Structure 1
Amino acid sequence: MINKGIASKEAARFMANVSAEDKNKALINISKAIRENTKRIIEENQKDIDNGKKKGLSKAILDRLLLDENRIEAMASAVEDVAGLQDPIGEVIEGFKTYNELKISKIRVPLGVVGIIYEARPNVTIDAAALCIKSGNSCILRGGSEAIHSNIVISDIIAQTAVGSGLPKGVVNFIDITDREVVDIMLKLNSYIDVLIPRGGSSLIKKVVENATVPVIETGVGNCHVFVDDSADLQKAIEIIVNAKTHRPGVCNAIETILIHKKVAELILPNLKKRLEEKNVELRGCSETVGLINCKQATEEDWSTEYLDLILAVKIVENLDEALEHIYKYGTKHSESIITENYTNSQRFLKEVDAAAVYVNASTRFTDGGEFGFGAEIGISTQKLHARGPMGLKELTSYKYLIYGDGQIRK
């Protein structure tokens, strides 16, 4: 582990001065290598899928694990997209002159060594590596044991191709040891890691935030909501809810609770229930919901649960005030959406909801670096310091000041 830290630190020093052209060349080569090794990646991924089935992992988690030709092509395309983005390093954020004629510029610089700890999503390996390379960082990746075979092959392809393209050895390091004690070491590797980004479930994020001495950017547990206002277009609401829950139920921007204004509950619930049950979604409703449709009674725990599965909690609320209060109490500051045709209510929702992404009449599934035009993402930050929302290239940078003088001394 220490050796990987040393190699990453040395690589970060080199990467800070690599030209945009050379970084882009490496990324394009990585994209080609991913495509050329599609069969090999699928073979290794199948081992993870088989092991996951033996362990009894849910369908949603297995879906997160799965890599097929289409998903591998999407991964390769994402790397190309990152290569096509403007290089943030060296960008002048602002410039000014002081009272004594000092000329000061504030410019973007890499963070250094970025440590990413994540779970059962092998695509994170390629997204994280590509973004770190483009932003002039090196990275240490530690994926979950569920995706170990997939991650090893993908990281090997990336690392070998990067070095073959002229980047330093150690620019991408993957920890292939599944022992959880490795995570404990990473959390305190201040001498070699500049920032840690945990990406996964609540237990992983809590462990990292509470135990790390390395600075942490907290990414999001997604207890996301859709509120159906009394002025909502109900057909639009149904389509958005079905998409937000069932498109990829095992990801953090999928909704876990819907809040429905009491004036439209009786109108929307029967059709909504039918559409969701066609997608095998289990509904858990408040007492008023249970009185309108046949579903399981929700418990207090349901309102705060990130299911990451085909389960959806339903609560009927008196008005927008109660919806806002519920989101304030149970939301995780990730993504929230209102379905409404009332401009005043939409603006109030946008203003009062404290989340990284707040939507009007759209699915929360768009909270994603690729969908936001960032090429890919390193994670969705739900904190407020340094970065918030989908973290792209600029969120993987810091800045420094360049000061030009002509003999000035302070008196």
Structure 2
Amino acid sequence: MARDKLSAVHVRQSPAGKYGDGGGLWLLKKDKDVGSWMFRVSVHGRLRHMGLGSISDVSLAEARAAAAKWRTVAREGLDPIQERERQRREAGRNLHLLADVAADAFEARKADLKGEGKAGRWFSPLEIHVLPKLGKYPVSNIDQIAIRDALKPIWKTKAATAEKALQRLSIVMNHAAALGYPVDIQACLKAKALLGGQGRQVENIPSLPWQDVPDFYASLSDGSTTHLALRLLILTGLRSAPVRMMRVEHVVGDVLTVPADLMKGRKGEAKAFRVPLAPEAMLLIEEAKRQARDGLLFPSPRGGVLSDMSLSRLMERREMEARPHGFRSSLRVYLAENSCPRDVGEMILAHSVMGKVEASYQRSDLLAVRRPWLERWARFVTTGRDMPTEIPASAEVVALVAKQEGAA
């Protein structure tokens, strides 16, 4: 079959009509200036007509090259139109950027995250340490080498953060696979093998020895929101968030009820937590109510919730190694060294001490049992003197639990 019958001049100047170039390539002109390319080929006895683009976008040379490509495909027994669509779909999958897939994975997990991930702690390891380097790459191009190179600078210096970033990235890669993108879901595991050991030990948040807590507590004396919040954090053994976000209605009588969404734990698993308030804590709350705003006991001077950093920075400015969260450790050691039963001490800090089956039968939160220990701690913190109160003996603890369960 004769080929290459057309020339560039023919393409530009031919009037409306149909012109063959040979080899199945045709020029279809609507008028002198408008036309398109068409490739015609027989596949398994079926005649196929395949558009190759407008003459304004595709030159004669490009049309001939495309026709040659699809003739080869047809000789292999494949339908050129179907094969082109398959290649387009695959190219589309390969263009999904890691940053976009990561954002989609985060959206899919929000319902299971505390506060729907608004604090940013789930996404921040990716956002800070992975996406700036790999976010603009197609997710299908992300391999263990790229992951290793992205995390290597922090793998040993910021070991815990690097581990979180790798774990989050693994979730994103699995999410991409679920969407049908061609990714290597083992890439993160391979990258971890390439990165090697971290040579680290888990470091606990620095805390004050419990014997030094009274002096620090006494120094929080200016009545500011930050000082009051830190004082209540120390007295109750709570984490920062439940204290900073405490509302007036959370306190009824001498009991503070922390809502489930302010407690640590996965969404749906965390439960509301009752805290028995010592007399010293009640006086502090009454003082805080005078500065309450919009129902918040400890509002920020600029409006909204008091920042977590405002508590930490106070201690930083005093050149202290200890941090607010460390007062939970101070309290726990105090309780242990003063013979508080282990389970009671753990429950004071809202730690789980029971399995699911046991918890289904043990419904008491040991509020009455926890109260004298927190009252003793509060008296020590505020006076500097440890004055043991009447703590229930083991048999009395059992009786108190049974009494509380009966009330429930």
* TM-score between the two structures when normalised by the length of structure 1: 0.25
Compare the two structures and name the one with the higher helix fraction: 2
Larger Rg: 2
Which protein, 1 or 2, shows the higher relative CO under an 8 Å CA cutoff with sep ≥ 6? 1
TM-score, normalisation: structure 2: 0.25
